[in-house]
């Protein structure tokens, strides 16, 4: 995962910079396009990670609702962690 998240975008950006150093207007435009592609790879990975963190938040909310249904009060963070570590999964 490290390779796809960080190493691949860095390699693509460095490749774009190398193309830009070749001189000429065409090389500058092509290199800028390659650098943009490297940045796009990085930001798409960032968006995917951001979306996955929302899934974890929904699971935490579901565990809190289940705890509320069982006990009649909202749990504190320690109680939620204990339920998650035992392997209780939301239904």
Pairwise pLDDT comparison (33 vs 69), residue with the higher score: 33
> For residues 9 and 39, is the Cβ–Cβ distance under 8 A?
yes
Q: Domain residue spans in the chain?
A: 2-85
Spatial contact of 27 and 19, defined as CB atoms under 8 Å apart: yes
Helix, strand, or coil here: 2? Answer: helix
Residue 58 pLDDT grade (very low, low, confident, very high; cuts 50, 70, 90): confident
Residue 34 has pLDDT above 90, yes or no: yes
Whether 39 and 13 have beta carbons less than 8 Å apart is answered as yes
Does residue 18 sit in helix, strand or coil?
A: helix
Q: State if pTM tops 0.75.
A: no
Question: 41 Cβ partners below 8 Å, 6+ apart?
Answer: 8, 9, 12
């Amino acid at each position: 995962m490290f390779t796809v998240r960080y190493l691949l975008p860095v390699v693509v950006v460095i490749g774009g910079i190398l193309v830009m150093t070749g001189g000429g207007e065409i090389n500058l435009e092509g290199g800028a396009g390659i650098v943009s592609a490297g940045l796009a790879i990085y930001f798409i990975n960032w968006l995917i990670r951001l979306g996955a963190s929302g899934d974890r938040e929904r699971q935490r909310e579901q565990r809190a609702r289940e705890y509320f249904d069982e006990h009649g009060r909202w749990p504190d963070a320690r109680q939620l962690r204990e339920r998650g570590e035992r392997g209780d999964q939301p239904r």
